[in-house]
Amino acid sequence: MATTVQILRCCTRGSRILFQSALLRNTSVGTKTTFGTSSALTNVFEARRGPFTPEEKRGKGHMMSASTHWKVERILMIGMIPLMPAALFYQSPFIDHAICTAVFLHGYWGMDGVLTDYLEKFVPWVKPLWTVLSIIAFAGLVNFNYNDVGLCKAVQMLWSM
């Protein structure tokens, strides 16, 4: 596990950290490994406890606060409950696009949360890559809805095989 963490740190901060950890590693049992005076390296996994400023609570550079985003996610999730059976019984381009958008947003926000919480700290370029791949995927789904049978009909055809 420690080796994996060191490799991920090297991806973002350069090979200096791996070199330092190899030089400063203490191999005796029961002692704590230190990296000199750099507290940022030893406290990389420690969460900061409050008090937080209002700007930190809102999030810097975000269009909406975290609580508003959470509410929008829950509204979308609850809205998907009647949308799924409606897609089975009433097929139309509107339902195809509504299902496509709802399922895509649900998956996008879920994966975005996972990437933000667990991977962005070590691999900062993963968020722009995820955004580009998501835009391409959503454009492909919209293109499939316009130029082919649509998402609901495609699932129905797949089930009838």
- Give the pLDDT of residue 58: 62
Domains of the chain as residue ranges with CATH: 2-42 (no CATH), 64-159 (1.20.1300.10)
Question: What pLDDT tens digit does each residue of the chain (161 aa) get?
Answer: 555 555 555 555 544 444 454 444 444 444 444 444 455 444 545 555 666 677 766 666 555 667 788 888 899 999 999 999 998 888 899 999 999 999 999 999 999 989 988 998 899 899 999 999 999 999 999 999 999 999 999 998 999 98
CA pair distance 93, 145, nearest whole angstrom? 7
DSSP annotation of 2 reads H
Element (H, E) at 109: helix 93-114
- Within 13 A of 131's CA, how many CA atoms are on the CB side? 7
Angle at 139 between CA 134 and CA 140, to 5 degrees: 95
CA pair distance 106, 102, nearest whole angstrom? 6
**What's the helix, strand, coil split of the chain in %, to 5?**
70, 0, 30
- Give the pLDDT of residue 148: 92
Question: Tokens 């550079």 appear where?
Answer: 61
**With contact defined as beta carbons under 8 Å apart, do 80 and 106 qualify?**
yes
Q: What are phi and psi of 36, to 5 degrees?
A: 80, -135
Is 97 annotated in a binding site? The answer is no
- Give the pLDDT of residue 52: 66
Q: How far apart are the first and last CA of the chain?
A: 45
